[in-house]
Structure 1
Amino acid sequence: MGCLGNLLWFIFGGALSGLSWCLAGCLWCITIVGIPVGVQCFKLAGLSFFPFGKEVRYGGGAGSFLLNIVWLLLSGLVLAVEHAIFGIVLCVTVVGIPFGLQQFKLAKLALMPFGAEVY
């Protein structure tokens, strides 16, 4: 079921979500200081392209917390709002609820990507 869900997800909105993460990663990689943040964006783009069957666990320390604050101010809020809007639109129909829930998972991840691990 996860394979079918990922295929439908990619066709009906996952490609756009993943490309948003890739764009954020490219913008962060322009500066040398932002390359680690850009690499994290590219990792999360893979999750955004195919989220079914994957779980996110949050952790991290003080460094992750400080980096999450900088991330939130510069890129995270825009991505989180995008995922939340997509989630609301997808949850309007019964068929779209599983896809909307994945968008909400990605919205939370867009707010706090550092210290999070994808399994």
Structure 2
Amino acid sequence: MRTLLNIIWLVLSGFWLALGYAAAGIVAFILIITIPFGIAAFRIAGYALWPFGRSVVREPTAGVASLIGNVLWIILFGWWLALAHLTTGIALCLTIIGIPLGLANFKLIPVSLLPLGARIVDSDQVAPGDRLFSS
């Protein structure tokens, strides 16, 4: 079932969302000082391509630098990426078959806003209490 959902996701929204994250990553790499943001953007782009069967887990050791980085991320990239997830999620929820995909889009909004201090892992490797969200 995960594979089927991932294929439908890839066709309907995953490819375009991954392009948005890749564009943010390229801009971050060009600006040089924001290279950590670029790394986070490319990591999330992979997740946006194939989200079902994987989860986002917050790192308990993420410190103040992660917090400051997340604030900068929201200002530079996060708000428009979250807006893209919101728009795509609403559009997908307009159809019956798209409702699970729209809900998955809504679940991607927190990681699109606060990517630093988060890991993307297989859902099988995570205890239920450790998940930020899963698809």
TM-score band by shorter chain is over 0.9
**Percent of residue pairs bearing the same amino acid type:** 39
Look up the equivalent residue of 1:14 and give its one-letter code.
G
Aligned partner of 1:61 in structure 2 is 63
The whole-number CA distance in structure 1 between the counterparts of 2:9 and 2:98 is 10
Aligned partner of 2:100 in structure 1 is 98
How big is the shift at 1:33? 1.0
The whole-number CA distance in structure 1 between the counterparts of 2:68 and 2:8 is 36
The whole-number CA distance in structure 2 between the counterparts of 1:93 and 1:11 is 15
Q: Which has the higher strand share?
A: 2
How big is the shift at 1:31? 2.1
Q: Deviations over 1:54-110 (max 9, x none)?
A: 111124222111100000011100100110111111112221111011111221111
What aligned pairs does 1:1-119 form with structure 2 within 5 A after superposition?
1-59=1-59, 60-119=62-121
Runs ≥4 residues deviating over 3 A:
none
Range that drifts further, 80-89 or 51-60: 51-60
Look up the equivalent residue of 1:24 and give its one-letter code.
A
Look up the equivalent residue of 2:120 and give its one-letter code.
V
With CA pairs under 8 Å and 6+ residues apart, which has the higher RCO, 1 or 2?
2
Give TM-score scaled by structure 2 length.
0.84
Look up the equivalent residue of 1:62 and give its one-letter code.
V
The whole-number CA distance in structure 2 between the counterparts of 1:39 and 1:65 is 16
Range that drifts further, 29-38 or 74-83: 29-38
Aligned partner of 2:131 in structure 1 is none
Range that drifts further, 79-88 or 100-109: 100-109
Give TM-score scaled by structure 1 length.
0.94
The whole-number CA distance in structure 2 between the counterparts of 1:15 and 1:61 is 32
Matched residue of 1:55: which SS? strand
The whole-number CA distance in structure 2 between the counterparts of 1:31 and 1:73 is 15
